Structure 1
Amino acid sequence: MRAEAAADTYEGGLRKVARVVLLDPDDRILLLHGHEPDDPSDDWWFTPGGGVEGEETREEAALRELAEETGITEVELGPVLWRRMCSFPFAGRRWDQDEWYFLARTTQTATAATALTDLERRSVAGARWWTCQELTRAHETVYPTRLAELLRRLLDEGPPAGPVTLDTEIV
């Protein structure tokens, strides 16, 4: 959750979000490690991405967010895999989001956050590439819920014919 550039000024309402399911040549997925700004023990893993800004498209937002959060710019952006509505508390406010998850591939595996907002600097602890097997065995909280199962299906069957609507998540 890139509670991002717009995050510092987010005042509620439904937020349009673009996320990236980024896979490397070994089919590992990149996840960011986030936590509540004032409580690092309240943590989770999530896909890179964040809010659409101004007149940009969701595709443009996905690529911009990926570059800002990971430094990765050499990507091949694919189709929208999943769509999800979610609502969760973070940084003292409630976030209501309409998230689109884009498939992307890269050979660039080194990461370095290049343009985090103040809120992100206080709430993103790093990034890690995960195999599907590691994700399946993980005991950490991961969003979207069931990501290991979704990734396994993606790797076994390829992208769906059209975006799959995931269950709404309200935390």
Structure 2
Amino acid sequence: TVLRAWAQGAAPRGPVALVDPAAEEPVRVRAGAVVIRDGAVLLIRFTDEGDGPHYEIPGGGVEAGETLEEAALRELGEETGLAGTVGPELARVWKDGRHEHYFLVSATGEVGPPETLDNYGGTPVWVPVERLPATPLWPRRLSWRIEHWHRTGWPGRPAELADSITELGPPCGW
């Protein structure tokens, strides 16, 4: 709230509540797989009528009895047909009671035929990593970080991010 107000040229009005999104009981836990091959990252492309495309990192809800890593690999298989090995956790994203965990995954195989994939009408696509900062990707705050980490080295511990699914336009407006 404070950063957004300052970036828009004003001070925040009134007191700003301190909210720790990581301390909230999650309404949903999601695990995602960041897969990079030959300088491109694998994303799921969705086309919205009128708004143009937006992209998501392959992933989905963690099922009962499943670890975050198991969920990331299961969802990667369901949405793209790829198998893989989970590497380090890159980021944790908190938004509206959702807790999302993103892992670097080394994937094998090829993207499966569309009729075999379960990705809610999206299409797996490879996007050059250098284009991520200008790509309407959820989570937005993670898009430019992936590009940066790919060039400079992966983080030693996960980034902790609060994000807005409604602010996908490049570049970030605040």
Q: How many residues align?
A: 139
Q: Percent identity?
A: 35
Distance 1:156 1:133, change over 3 A: closer
- Which is greater in Rg? 2
TM-score calculated relative to the size of structure 1: 0.71
Q: Would you say 1:23 and 2:33 are equivalent positions?
A: no
Contact 1:81 1:162 in 2 (8 A): yes
Distance in 2 separating the partners of 1:102 and 1:82: 7
1:130 Cα deviation after fit: 0.8
What is the RMSD computed on CA atoms of the aligned residues?
2.2
Larger strand share, 1 or 2:
1
Q: Which has the higher contact order (CA 8 A, sep 6+)?
A: 1
Distance 1:84 1:106, change over 3 A: same
Distance 1:157 1:164, change over 3 A: same
5+ unaligned residues in a row in structure 1: which ranges?
Answer: 1-12, 88-95
Distance in 2 separating the partners of 1:132 and 1:101: 16
- Alignment map for 1:2-151 (pairs within 5 Å): 14-24=27-37, 26-35=38-47, 40-42=49-51, 43-73=53-83, 75-87=84-96, 96-112=97-113, 114-116=116-118, 120=120, 124-138=121-135, 141-151=136-146
The residue that corresponds to 2:151 in the other structure is 156
5+ unaligned residues in a row in structure 2: which ranges?
Answer: 1-25, 167-174
1:77 Cα deviation after fit: 1.2
TM-score calculated relative to the size of structure 2: 0.70
SS at match of 1:166: strand
